[in-house]
A = this chain, B = another copy of it.
Amino acid sequence: MGEDPDFPMRMAELSATSGVPVPTVKLYLREGLLPPGERTSPNQARYGPAHVRRLLLVRALREVANLPVAAIKVILGALDDPAGTLHDALGAAQEAITPAPGPAPGPAAARAAATVDRLSAEQGWSGCASPARSAVEGALAAIYALGADNGGSDALLSAYAGAAQQVARADLAGVAAEPDADQVLTTAVVWTVLGDAVLAGLRRMAQQEASARVFGG
């Protein structure tokens, strides 16, 4: 049987090329996170470069971003079958990756909503209802309910919103600079999800430095 040039790799080569162990590859196949290879016999399949890319993406979403399997499936669906404008497709992918518990109704929730309105006005955002807005309100309401909003909380949150604005503009410039049109949505999803981890980690590095200066022995 001749070799299909689009699917040059056996499972062992797919694993070696991607750096993902064979048992993990098999798990992703079983979970439907990786499409099946091209079958060459009842017990053998071959894989191509698209499998390597998908494998790396799935592993990053699972192991670095810690997303549940269900959320990863929604993201992969949005990537494989994008609808409408790029803005629509980005929005669908973003909804899939933003957990939006939202606060339970109460005084803390009302105060959180007022804060998000204020920050939106400061930054010139529409402040429309969205999973992102619910996520912010949920986290803020938890902070308020805990009484952890010390004197500096209003100025602190304005600093957060300003930093978010700055990062989002850089994010969009990065996505717009992606030279491969087929990769724009993947690039946007990767940076949205893994960018959270990068930003959170950098914030903690910066906190360590600032804490050493302010509170160090």
Which residues does A use to contact B, with CB under 8 Å? 19, 53, 56-57, 59-60, 63-64, 66, 84-88, 90-91, 94, 98-99, 101, 104, 106, 119-120, 123-128, 130-133, 135-136, 138-140, 142-143, 145-148, 150-153, 155-157, 159-179, 183, 186-187, 190-192, 194-212, 214-217
Tally of this chain's copies: 2
Say yes or no: A150 contacts B168, CB within 8 Å. no
Most chain B beta-carbon neighbours within 10 Å: one of A88, A125, A202: A202
State the Cβ distance, A67 to closest chain B Cβ, in Å: 11
> Is A167 within 8 A of B174, CB to CB?
no
Partner pick for A160 among B138, B139, B198, B211, CB 8 A cutoff:
B198
What is the chain B residue whose CB lies nearest that of A116? B205
Contact B209 A135 (CB under 8 A): no
Do A201 and B133 touch (CB < 8 A)? Answer: yes
Expressed in whole angstroms, the minimum distance between the Cβ of A167 and any Cβ of chain B is 5
Q: Which residue of B lies closest to A126 (CB)?
A: B209
In the bound complex, what is the Cα–Cα distance between A162 and B165 (angstroms)?
12
**If A187-B148, A192-B207 touch, does A198 touch B168 (CB 8 Å cutoff)?**
no
Q: Given A56-B145, A87-B216, A94-B204, 6 more contacts at CB 8 Å?
A: A60-B146, A87-B214, A139-B201, A150-B175, A152-B174, A176-B214
The answer on a CB contact under 8 Å between B191 and A143 is yes
Note all chain B residues with C-beta closer than 8 A to A64: 101, 138-139, 142
Chain B residue numbers with a CB within 8 Å of A53 are 146-147
Top 3 A-B residue pairs of the complex, sorted by shortest distance between their CB atoms: A168-B206, A132-B204, A136-B201
The answer to whether B160 touches A195, judged by C-beta atoms less than 8 angstroms apart, is: yes
Nearest B residue to A59 via CB reads B142
* A171 → chain B closest CB, angstroms: 6
